[in-house]
Structures are given as C-alpha cells and as structure tokens.
Amino acid sequence: MPGLAAGSPFTMSLAVLLAETFVVGLAFSALLAAALMRVERWDARVPLLAVAALTLALALVHGWFDAIFVNQARAAMGLAGTPLWRQFVFGLMPFVLVYGLFASGLGLVFSSMVAQERERQLAAAQNAAQQAQLAALRFQLNPHFLFNTLNAISSLVITRRNDEAEGMIGKLSDFLRASLEADPQREVTLDEEFSTLQSYLDIEAVRFRDRLDTEFICPAELLDVLVPSFILQPLIENAVKYAVAPSRKAVRIIVRATADAPSVLRLCVEDDGGQAFGGGPKGGTGLGLANVRRRLEAFYGNEGGLVATARDRGFVASMTLPLRRAHRAEAAE
C-alpha cells in the first residue's frame, strides 16, 4: 500500500505473493473451521486447549510459508533477501492475531449454535415428556386396569383371603402414588424403575396367577444408572396385554439390562407369548412404542433408540440410551 501511494507499480511478484498467502490462509481457515465444528462441548477444557494449539500451529506454519513467499518475491524483484528466520519472526505476529481472532469468532458462533440447539432439544424434551406423562397415565390408570385390580381385590375379600387383599391394596396404592408423583422430565435410577415395574407386575400377577412369569436380569453395577421415569412401563404393558392376556399357557416376561459398551446401556423387554405386538398390534394402536421412541429422542437425540422385533414365538423390544450413573446423593434420594 505505501508503494501504491508513492506511485510505484503493482508488480507481478507482489500479486503472486498475495495470491499465495490468500490460498494458504483460505485452506488453513477451512481446516480450523472444520476442527471447531467437531467440538461438541464448549465448556470442556481438553477440546478448547486442542483448538488453541491447532490455531497456534496453523499461525506458525503460515508465518513460515509467508517468510518463504516474501523472500521469493524479493528475489523476483531483484531485492536483497532477508534471513528466513528473521523474516519469519518479523511477520509472525499478524498471523497469530488473525488466526486467534478467526478462531475466537467462529468459536462464539458455534457455541451459540450449540446452546440454541440444546435449548431446542430441552424444550422438545419437556414437551414430549409432558405428553408422555399424559399418555402413560391413559395407559396406566385406565378404567379397565382399575376395574380388574379392584375386582381381584374383591375376590380376595369374598374368599376371606384378607391378608392377600390387604397386600394387594398396598401394592395398588404404591403404584398409583408412583404414577401420579412421577416427574416426566426427571431421570430415575434403574433400581427405582424396576421397583415401579415390579409393583405393576405384582398387581397383574393376581389377575393372571400362574400365567404370568417375570424375571429381571441386571448386573448390580448397573442399578444406579439413570433412565427416564416410566420408560419401560409401556413395553411391559404391551407384553401383558398382547402376550399374557390372550394366552392360556404361562408366558415368561424378561426385563434385561446390559452395558453394550462403557457408554451405552441396553434395556430389553422380551416375552415368549404366541402373539407379537410390534409396530401395530392386532387390536391395538402402537401408541406405547411410539411414546417410548419420542421420549428417547427427546431426551438423548440420536443416542437413544428403540427396536421392536417379532420372533417365531414372542416379541422383543430393545432400547439403547447413554449410560450415565447417578451421583451418590441422587442415588440415596
């Protein structure tokens, strides 16, 4: 710019120098932008330090290239060359500032986008959870379920099995309390989720007696992992409704929890009944499975999912979600 102001001609060597610097800067900026886009947590120290190190490294490399380009331009214009290290040190600071400002600006933009996406997912999770709670209550507290339970209690009273009737009333009370007090936006430990399921199955066991056989398979080290409250309830109800109820023989329902990987939890509900209820069950609506899928997506995005598969005899519903453990204080509560 001083040369142009003084009337000096804009030489081809200078044009080549500017073009070389521009191309290298464009390539390095794209590389830095791609690295910034891969940062998922902007409050984590390690990714931010890695991005800062990459930014400084690109500035240093570009400064070295620029020193080479400047000396080449000087030689093309017949000017005396400068030692490469001196030219590098002299021209380095602008590159550090430019790349630093570029990384900081993009980081602010991407972190804002991530925050907005998290807010959107949180709002979607809250909305889906509220809808899921209403749908769960429609499944759990429907008149048919209450009628069958009260009818079973009445039969126990008539046959003077008062102790069993009293126990049945207590189980129904515990289940209704858990259903009504459950916060759809809150996660509970797997141990708590199993306890609620067991209350429901204890009630249904009075109705179906020897036709309902259940088993929970879960390593002790997974009992403190977090899952959305009542996430397994629709799957258990489907198994009872479409596998146990139509059968004249005993049906076994297995609830299984495994860790597929250090960060992946798999929950399976399987039965050996003769009627499969996956997708759209015969005489059913499929709302239970759709409800579970919506809640998993709202809570965990692409990390949560549900696969329902019919087998030769029975059905298996398998869900995956991130494996996160409760803090000791939360587990104690």
Q: Would you state the pLDDT for residue 316? A: 93
The residue that leads in pLDDT, 22 or 256, is 256
CA–CA dist 236, 232 (Å, integer): 6
Average pLDDT in the 107-111 region? 79
Share of the chain above pLDDT 90, in %: 15
Question: What is the architecture, at CATH level 2, of domain 182-332?
Answer: 2-Layer Sandwich (3.30)
Residue 282 above 50 pLDDT?
Answer: no
Max Cα separation, the chain? 113
Residue 10 above 70 pLDDT?
Answer: no
- Cα angle value 325/48/26 (rounded, 5°): 135
Angstrom distances, CA of residue 91 to CA of 4, 7, 59, 283 = 21, 25, 11, 76
Model confidence over 11-27: pLDDT tens digits?
777 778 788 888 888 88
Which residue reads 């001609």 in tokens?
Answer: 9
Q: Would you state the pLDDT for residue 183? A: 66
Share of the chain above pLDDT 70, in %: 82
Least confident of 50-64, 168-182, 183-197, 255-269: 168-182
- Residue 263 main-chain phi, psi, to 5 deg: -120, 15
User: Residue ranges of the alpha helices (H) in the chain?
Assistant: 2-5, 12-37, 45-76, 84-140, 143-158, 162-181, 190-208, 233-239, 287-300, 328-332
Which of 16-25, 67-76, 211-220 is most confident?
Answer: 211-220
3-state secondary structure of 154: helix
Q: Would you state the pLDDT for residue 144? A: 65
Residue 270 above 90 pLDDT?
Answer: yes
To the nearest whole number, what is the mean pLDDT of the chain? 79
The residue that leads in pLDDT, 332 or 292, is 292
Domain with CATH 3.30.565.10 in the chain: 182-332
The edge-to-edge listing of strands for the beta sheet with 251-261 is: 212-217, 251-261, 264-271, 315-322, 305-310
CA–CA dist 166, 157 (Å, integer): 9
DSSP state at residue 163: H
Q: End-to-end CA distance of the chain, in Å?
A: 70
Chain-centre distance of CA 64, in angstroms?
A: 43
CA-based torsion, 66, 67, 70, 71: positive or negative: negative
Per the structure block, which two tokens stand in for 273? 């009944």
Contact 290, 330 (CB under 8 A): no
Q: Would you state the pLDDT for residue 43? A: 61
Per the structure block, which two tokens stand in for 175? 């289940």
Q: Would you state the pLDDT for residue 286? A: 59
pLDDT grade for 191, boundaries at 50, 70 and 90: very high
Residue 216 above 90 pLDDT?
Answer: yes
Average pLDDT in the 28-54 region? 77
Which residue reads 């900081």 in tokens?
Answer: 104
3-state secondary structure of 310: strand
Residue 89's CB is within 10 A of a number of other CB atoms, namely 12
The residue that leads in pLDDT, 218 or 147, is 218
Residue 134 above 70 pLDDT?
Answer: no
Average pLDDT in the 37-58 region? 75
